[in-house]
Structure 1
Amino acid sequence: MLRRNQLTLRILVVISLLLLPCSYVFSIQEVAAAQQSSQIDAMLVVDASNSMKKSDPNKIGNEAMKMFIDMLSVKGDKVGIISYTDQIQREKALLEIQSAADKEDLKKFIDQLDRGPYTDSAVGIREAVKVLEQGSDPTHEPMIVLLADGNNDLNEATGRTEKESAQELDQAIADANKKGIPVYTIGLNADGKLNKDALAEISQKTGGKAFSTNTADDLPQILSEIFASHLKLKIVPIQSMTGNGSFQEVTINVPNANVLEANISIMSAQPVEVKLTDPSGASKSIPAKDILYSKSKSYSLLKLITPTKGDWKLQVKGVAKDKIDINLVFNYDIELTMDPLPSSTYKKGDKIDIVSYLTSNGQKLQNSTLYQNMNAKLVVKDLDSGDTKEVPLSNPGDRFTGTYKVADKHDYELTVIAEDSSLYRETDVVKISAKPGGASANPTPSKPTTPVTDEKKESFPVLLVVGGVIAFAAVLAAAYFILSAYKKANKGFVGQMVIEIRDENTGEKTYPQYKKLNGFKGKITLHQLLQLAPELKETEKILFVPSKNDRIMIKNGSTVNIEKSGRVIDASNGFEIKGEDRITLSLQSVDKTIMLEYLV
């Protein structure tokens, strides 16, 4: 299950602006939204083979990726980029966005991407999954966006076979699905050679969504739909306008103070000019502290930070006869919450009262206009039969209420969903049981009965026997420890260690190095595996010692921070890793990060 089902989801609103030669006003009553989300950890993966020159000759895919980055939150989201052929061409590690400068850094990296021969999709996806496993925040929502044509073109000189590529791809897909990482695929079919089924299978198996297009000009719109799909949005169909060489005005209504960010994206083949006026009638400088402005070859994006409630005036001047698409995306601080149920266990026929309402910052919203035209329902899933039932809820204007009658002696999941033609929210899942004793605690095991001893039988020379046993045990223990020490000093390793080193200043990463371990016995330092490189000398106090069941014990006697699954681990007294575990080590003396994967 994707983690977004357990997290508060981001409210994003995507609406269409109908722009004509005269001025029009639209209402944010017609919006598309999902619940507020935690931050996103996204890997953008692009096929950089020469075949993409025909599918995307103008590199609109790069422009789409840059727009995706600009739409992300000002702070907190993470983005990484991978460009691949039959190997990783360029890679940018997950970068946490903390400023507009961070976004510019990512976009400059995209502009530097080049193309090369051959293609192996397994390489790009496997690397993206690995990066997310190593650097993704457990509280963030991971995702992969893949831009490719779905076809492989392997280099015969390497000996790589289609079977090997397929097996690696299957493993990468399985890992992504296990980790809750959806892969959204975008297939470009300009030359008619798109392998649509291959890309669709990747998305279907990972809980993502597949898109395809005959023209790269559709990519910015597709990226918006991926944003919506990942965050469970309902999108109002987007309309377009034709520029006339003059400014055309539209009124944007910010409906309430719950809007955290308003993103206005303007997609066009030619540059546009924009002006903005706030609800008080004051002209706003672009850019400003609370108004970010990004421009690229095919789009412009305005991001309003905590905009004032009311009517904003947006003026857009486009080249005559140029098609212009404008989207508005809101980030709301709103959730849908369900009152806690009085119990988690019920009997067949019991009635459960349901109360759900909108909240902001943990407080119930008093603005009843947000409830207008909304319908709500309770979705009940029978975990025993697999059946799903929907129970309509009432809307008195400030909450949603209703009653559910337990149908059978089964286990159930309850969720409230509230929506209208353009608005969607859902609560966290609540589990209940109607089975006899369904929530009762496990019986406490009875204490073993202590046998009663007969004091008269203690005339047997117990002390003498016990003393002899202790002496014999001491001799055996000494022999055991001597033998164990000898075996430990000569115990060999198994498997291999995959080593990659990332330069934190440039984001560049070395090609994976596979170090076989079976030639080492007793212990080995990380510095030895790194061929005693002088700049990596601080790793000489990090020891690897063979452990039981083909595992390795890491002992850290240095100041290097060691992380596993994004969390710092204390290996000063030893920390055990098993096959397929991945760890990262952040060096102190140089700005480099070492990534290790143990393969058995």
Structure 2
Amino acid sequence: MVWCLLLCQPVLATAQALNNQDLERFNVMLVIDGSGSLVYGDNATDANGLRYDALDLFLALLTNSGNNVGAIVFDNDPQNYLLNTGLQSITGKSDKISLSDQIRQAGTRDDTDIGSALLTAVETLNAQSAQNGMESVIILFSDGRTDLGGDQEAYEASLENKETAITTAQTAGIPVYSICLNATSVADPAELQEISSRTSGSFVAVSSPEDLTGAFEAFYNLIFSTSSSERVTSSFPSSGKLTFNIDVPTYGAEEVNIILDTDGAGQAQLTAPSGPMSAADMEDSTMTGGDFNIIKLVDPEVGRWTLELSGVPQDNVTINVIYNIDTSAVLATADGGSDYGAGDTVTLQAALYQNGVPITDSTVTSEYTAELTFTNMADNSTQTVEMNAGPNGSFTYDFQENDFNSYSVQVVFRYSNMSIPSNTIPVNFGNTAPVVASDQQLVEESVIVTPVTGRERTFDLSNYFSDAQGDPITYSVASSQLVDGSVTLNGSNLTVNTAKSRSGDLVLRGTDPQGAYSEMTIRFQVTNLTPAIFSVIVAALVAVIVIVSIIVYKKTHIPFRGSITVTSATSMSGSGRSHANFKGKIKLLYFAIGSCGMDAKKCWFVAQPGNRLEFRSPVPVYWNGMPTKKVNLLNGSTEIYADENRTLGIRVTVKFDYNIRK
């Protein structure tokens, strides 16, 4: 008999923000491929159902309470998923087993519609997060590409749903962690990898079903606040008994998960500092995930626990301990600054926090050590020192630097095999990081991509970043939610192929020669119009233009039937001219009356509906002694003057054709 354990190295989760009162609680949707390719044919990717064992491991590691978990098992029918539980509060072993049973019983069926299932999951999480304020994540498991059996309409709808899901997840901050079983030619890792990349999640392709347990453990460590000890492998001696010690600190470990292989007849017994656990308590605390038993200790007794294993001499056993952490480590400078002069001394302070409040119990400094690591940002060289125990459970360290350097600094609290990393802070000596103006730290770009426009955006990053010392700035892409291959950066010149990039955040970093940096984000909202849609829109615009043109034409070409004669109202020269039957409007200039005090180029006679006629002037004229810019002309003569004293003006004689008017 051989004892073995997980297939990937433990991953330490990054410390989360202090204002998160439930550091390791999440809304989680498990989106699981239920297509037939997993179980049918020679290329079946998981005929033995090892994905269920891996999911059991993930559920077993979840904190005993506080998480909301749901599952979607999908094939090619977005209206009738094989399973859609919605989100539900998961508390205790029975809830976890119940959800696991539902997933297993959902089975498998036809083809693969990833987009619709992903969109349903995102919408479910978005609604739940709005209610409980908790962060949300998706774990997507699939063995292959979107495949809808040749139904092109359904395929395009699925791709549209996928794009909507990705952009909604980006806006809501919902990362997608994807697992692709890349064991056969059926699989297509690229599609899942793009989903995770564009939502700031993670992706892993596993080459055999057995690797799934390791993938799920890795994602668990990435998502939740955890600490993992190094795996320990030993051989059973001739006595068939092995003993391991597990230490629990006063603060930090809300739960302890002990993962063991169950292959064979081995037995496990745990003894707390106060005495051994009963058989009933061991049973209540243990869940099975494939070949593994996971023993969960909730609010474990502080001190040293003993794990005794029974097995066959010479067989190997590997154990792994994962602590679910309920504290965070916080590092800061004593004065809250980050920029100092060369030769200055900076005091660094570190403490453990629970629910946003520092733990002031001196037990912390008696149980934990605090290792402080300085990373020179220019060459990435590091130096690690141990901080000194300070007052009220805190740690301190005084650091002096005589050269012009910038450092990235982090502390790790260690207790036995448990570690809690802090936030990372910059400390600059004789240097300040490049800066980005506050109104340019987030640049929003709305782009409509058509077959002829909006296919590229360019930026000169030197217009956004500046350095107080005048040092040259090197530019790089810190992170990207855009499609791979859509971003080109040459010096300070950034080019984004928006036709390919789709929506997402692009984070750009400006770094000085000492390695200090600042970042800006360009947020792209990209709407892609396909040639078909573009053609429809163009046709609609043409139709609108035609209709508007007809309306404008009719309004500007109203017919006047009759005659109009214009002469001077103040001169006896008799100059003037007549005109009959016209459409639209005619200038006063046409009537050649000479000086009349009005701008003959800008005054008009305008036909109106119903065979009426108006005189219009850009400036007020006088009619019946009143100033006006518009005169309604009646049958007969009308005098219009340029000034109130009636020194200059025109006489307009109109004869309407009343037969036409009727």
Distance 2:284 2:58 in 1: 18
> For structure 2, which runs of at least 5 residues remain unmatched after alignment?
5-9, 17-22, 439-662
1:148 aligns with 2:142: yes
Q: Given the alignment, which residue of 83, 87, 101 partners 2:94?
A: 101
Residue matched to 1:184: 177
Larger Rg over CA atoms: 2
1:240 CA drift (Å): 4.6
TM-score, normalised by the number of residues in structure 1: 0.56
1:274 CA drift (Å): 2.1
1:357 aligns with 2:344: no
More strand by share: 2
1:65 CA drift (Å): 1.0
Closer, same or farther in 2 for the Cα pair 1:332/1:296, shift >3 Å?
Answer: closer
1:304 CA drift (Å): 1.2
Q: Given the alignment, which residue of 419, 422, 430 partners 1:423?
A: 419
Distance 1:200 1:324 in 2: 34
- Is 1:287–1:293's contact at 8 Å kept on the other side of the alignment? no
Matched residue type, 1:395:
M
Across the aligned residues of Structure 1 and Structure 2, the Cα RMSD in angstroms comes to: 4.4
1:125 aligns with 2:121: no
CA deviation map 1:442-473 (0-9, x unaligned): xxxxxxxxxxxxxxxxxxxxxxxxxxxxxxxx
Closer, same or farther in 2 for the Cα pair 1:435/1:170, shift >3 Å?
Answer: closer
CA deviation map 1:408-442 (0-9, x unaligned): 9xxx9997543679734223879999999x99xxx
Closer, same or farther in 2 for the Cα pair 1:239/1:428, shift >3 Å?
Answer: closer
CA deviation map 1:57-114 (0-9, x unaligned): 1111111112211111111011111101123321111111233322222122122121
Residue matched to 1:375: 372
TM-score, normalised by the number of residues in structure 2: 0.52
Residue matched to 2:231: 238
Distance 1:113 1:215 in 2: 23
Q: Aligned to 2:85, what secondary structure does the other structure show?
A: strand
Sequence identity, in percent?
21
- Is 1:254–1:308's contact at 8 Å kept on the other side of the alignment? no
Distance 2:185 2:232 in 1: 27
Q: Given the alignment, which residue of 38, 41, 49 partners 1:52?
A: 38
Closer, same or farther in 2 for the Cα pair 1:345/1:423, shift >3 Å?
Answer: closer
Q: Which has the higher contact order (CA 8 A, sep 6+)?
A: 1
1:315 CA drift (Å): 2.5
1:146 CA drift (Å): 1.3
Distance 2:210 2:128 in 1: 32
Distance 2:338 2:72 in 1: 49
- Is 2:31–2:141's contact at 8 Å kept on the other side of the alignment? yes
Q: Given the alignment, which residue of 277, 285, 289 partners 2:278?
A: 285
CA deviation map 1:245-300 (0-9, x unaligned): 985322223242223211112234456432222234x3311342996122354221
- Is 2:329–2:423's contact at 8 Å kept on the other side of the alignment? yes
1:115 CA drift (Å): 0.2
Residue matched to 2:518: none
Distance 2:229 2:361 in 1: 25
- Is 1:50–1:115's contact at 8 Å kept on the other side of the alignment? yes
Distance 1:118 1:320 in 2: 48
Distance 2:150 2:163 in 1: 21
1:328 CA drift (Å): 1.0
Residue matched to 1:63: 53
1:208 CA drift (Å): 1.7
1:43 aligns with 2:29: yes
Q: Aligned to 1:254, what secondary structure does the other structure show?
A: strand
- Is 2:369–2:413's contact at 8 Å kept on the other side of the alignment? no
CA deviation map 1:202-250 (0-9, x unaligned): 2222222212222222222221111112247675553556779985322
Closer, same or farther in 2 for the Cα pair 1:207/1:365, shift >3 Å?
Answer: farther
1:400 aligns with 2:386: no
Matched residue type, 1:397:
A
1:84 aligns with 2:77: no
Distance 1:124 1:254 in 2: 43
Distance 1:105 1:429 in 2: 44
1:334 aligns with 2:327: yes
Residue matched to 2:260: 266
- Is 1:147–1:187's contact at 8 Å kept on the other side of the alignment? yes
